[in-house]
Amino acid sequence: MESLERNKYYPCAYKEYIIKDGKRIGKVVREIFFILNKQIRLARRFVSGFIYETDATFNTNKLRLLLTTMVGIDNTGSTFPIAFLFITSESAKAFNFASKCLSNLVFYNCLEPTVILGDFAKGLAASIIAKAEIDL
Protein backbone atom coordinates (compact mmCIF):
# COMPACT_ATOMS: atom_id res chain seq x y z
CA MET A 1 0.00 0.00 0.00
CA GLU A 2 2.85 2.36 0.84
CA SER A 3 4.47 1.67 -2.52
CA LEU A 4 1.24 2.50 -4.35
CA GLU A 5 0.79 5.71 -2.37
CA ARG A 6 4.43 6.71 -3.04
CA ASN A 7 3.70 6.32 -6.76
CA LYS A 8 0.66 8.65 -6.52
CA TYR A 9 -2.03 5.93 -6.56
CA TYR A 10 -5.08 5.95 -4.34
CA PRO A 11 -5.19 2.37 -3.02
CA CYS A 12 -7.97 0.57 -1.16
CA ALA A 13 -7.61 -2.88 0.39
CA TYR A 14 -10.23 -5.39 1.45
CA LYS A 15 -9.04 -7.38 4.46
CA GLU A 16 -10.57 -10.32 6.28
CA TYR A 17 -9.78 -11.73 9.69
CA ILE A 18 -8.28 -15.18 9.99
CA ILE A 19 -10.17 -17.04 12.69
CA LYS A 20 -8.88 -20.19 14.35
CA ASP A 21 -10.66 -21.89 17.25
CA GLY A 22 -13.03 -18.92 17.49
CA LYS A 23 -10.20 -16.39 17.94
CA ARG A 24 -8.85 -13.79 15.54
CA ILE A 25 -5.25 -14.64 14.79
CA GLY A 26 -4.55 -12.13 12.01
CA LYS A 27 -5.72 -10.37 8.89
CA VAL A 28 -5.27 -11.26 5.25
CA VAL A 29 -5.63 -8.93 2.26
CA ARG A 30 -8.13 -10.35 -0.25
CA GLU A 31 -8.43 -7.51 -2.79
CA ILE A 32 -6.40 -4.42 -3.67
CA PHE A 33 -7.92 -1.57 -5.71
CA PHE A 34 -5.75 1.25 -7.08
CA ILE A 35 -6.38 4.33 -9.21
CA LEU A 36 -4.52 7.49 -10.23
CA ASN A 37 -5.84 11.05 -10.00
CA LYS A 38 -5.81 11.32 -13.82
CA GLN A 39 -7.94 8.17 -14.06
CA ILE A 40 -10.41 9.66 -11.59
CA ARG A 41 -10.74 12.82 -13.70
CA LEU A 42 -11.24 10.84 -16.93
CA ALA A 43 -13.78 8.49 -15.32
CA ARG A 44 -15.80 11.38 -13.89
CA ARG A 45 -15.86 13.04 -17.31
CA PHE A 46 -16.49 10.09 -19.63
CA VAL A 47 -17.85 7.20 -17.52
CA SER A 48 -20.28 9.01 -15.21
CA GLY A 49 -23.77 8.21 -16.49
CA PHE A 50 -22.31 6.11 -19.31
CA ILE A 51 -20.39 2.80 -19.48
CA TYR A 52 -17.28 0.95 -18.36
CA GLU A 53 -15.94 -2.50 -19.17
CA THR A 54 -14.26 -4.86 -16.73
CA ASP A 55 -12.38 -8.14 -17.13
CA ALA A 56 -9.79 -10.18 -15.27
CA THR A 57 -6.61 -11.89 -16.42
CA PHE A 58 -5.41 -15.15 -14.87
CA ASN A 59 -2.00 -16.33 -13.61
CA THR A 60 -0.09 -13.17 -14.52
CA ASN A 61 1.79 -12.85 -11.22
CA LYS A 62 3.59 -14.99 -8.66
CA LEU A 63 0.73 -14.80 -6.16
CA ARG A 64 -1.74 -15.99 -8.81
CA LEU A 65 -4.06 -13.11 -8.04
CA LEU A 66 -6.42 -12.02 -10.80
CA LEU A 67 -5.60 -8.64 -12.29
CA THR A 68 -8.87 -6.91 -13.06
CA THR A 69 -8.85 -3.91 -15.36
CA MET A 70 -11.70 -1.44 -15.76
CA VAL A 71 -11.73 0.70 -18.90
CA GLY A 72 -13.86 3.56 -20.17
CA ILE A 73 -14.32 5.21 -23.57
CA ASP A 74 -13.43 8.84 -24.17
CA ASN A 75 -15.00 11.27 -26.67
CA THR A 76 -12.67 10.14 -29.47
CA GLY A 77 -13.70 6.48 -29.10
CA SER A 78 -10.41 5.48 -27.45
CA THR A 79 -10.34 3.32 -24.35
CA PHE A 80 -8.55 4.37 -21.18
CA PRO A 81 -7.95 2.52 -17.91
CA ILE A 82 -10.19 3.61 -15.06
CA ALA A 83 -8.83 1.45 -12.26
CA PHE A 84 -7.03 -1.79 -11.49
CA LEU A 85 -7.65 -4.50 -8.90
CA PHE A 86 -5.86 -7.57 -7.68
CA ILE A 87 -8.54 -10.02 -6.53
CA THR A 88 -8.54 -13.60 -5.27
CA SER A 89 -11.63 -14.58 -7.28
CA GLU A 90 -14.35 -13.07 -9.47
CA SER A 91 -16.80 -13.21 -6.57
CA ALA A 92 -19.67 -10.88 -5.75
CA LYS A 93 -17.70 -9.78 -2.69
CA ALA A 94 -14.76 -8.68 -4.89
CA PHE A 95 -17.01 -6.76 -7.30
CA ASN A 96 -18.92 -5.17 -4.40
CA PHE A 97 -15.58 -3.98 -3.04
CA ALA A 98 -14.61 -2.55 -6.45
CA SER A 99 -17.97 -0.79 -6.77
CA LYS A 100 -17.62 0.71 -3.30
CA CYS A 101 -14.11 1.99 -4.12
CA LEU A 102 -15.34 3.54 -7.38
CA SER A 103 -18.27 5.18 -5.58
CA ASN A 104 -16.02 6.60 -2.84
CA LEU A 105 -13.16 7.80 -5.05
CA VAL A 106 -14.79 8.63 -8.40
CA PHE A 107 -18.58 8.86 -8.40
CA TYR A 108 -19.14 10.33 -4.94
CA ASN A 109 -21.08 13.37 -6.23
CA CYS A 110 -21.94 12.48 -9.81
CA LEU A 111 -23.84 9.75 -11.66
CA GLU A 112 -22.70 6.15 -11.39
CA PRO A 113 -22.14 4.37 -14.72
CA THR A 114 -25.39 3.33 -16.36
CA VAL A 115 -23.91 0.23 -18.06
CA ILE A 116 -21.26 -2.18 -16.80
CA LEU A 117 -19.95 -4.51 -19.47
CA GLY A 118 -18.23 -7.75 -18.50
CA ASP A 119 -17.91 -11.42 -19.22
CA PHE A 120 -20.13 -14.08 -17.70
CA ALA A 121 -18.59 -13.87 -14.22
CA LYS A 122 -21.31 -14.89 -11.78
CA GLY A 123 -19.87 -12.56 -9.14
CA LEU A 124 -20.22 -9.50 -11.37
CA ALA A 125 -23.86 -10.31 -12.16
CA ALA A 126 -24.65 -10.95 -8.48
CA SER A 127 -22.99 -7.69 -7.45
CA ILE A 128 -24.93 -5.66 -10.02
CA ILE A 129 -28.24 -7.29 -9.06
CA ALA A 130 -27.60 -6.65 -5.33
CA LYS A 131 -26.73 -3.00 -5.98
CA ALA A 132 -29.85 -2.54 -8.14
CA GLU A 133 -32.03 -3.96 -5.37
CA ILE A 134 -30.50 -1.57 -2.82
CA ASP A 135 -31.05 1.43 -5.13
CA LEU A 136 -34.74 0.57 -5.55
Please give the full DSSP string across 23-43, using - where no structure is assigned: EEEEEEEEEEEEEEHHHHHHH
Q: What is the model's pLDDT at position 136?
A: 58
How many alpha carbons fall within 13 Å on the CB side of residue 25?
Answer: 6
Q: Residue 135 has what pLDDT? A: 65
DSSP 47: T
Per-residue pLDDT of the chain (136 residues), as tens digits, is 899 999 999 999 999 898 988 888 888 888 999 999 999 999 999 999 999 999 988 777 787 889 999 999 999 999 999 999 999 888 899 999 999 999 999 999 999 999 999 887 788 888 888 888 876 5
pLDDT (0 to 100) of residue 9: 92
pLDDT value at residue 12: 94
3-class secondary-structure state, position 52: strand
The confidence score (pLDDT) of residue 119 equals 86
Neighbours of 74 (CB within 10 A): 12
Query: 90: helix, coil or strand?
Result: coil
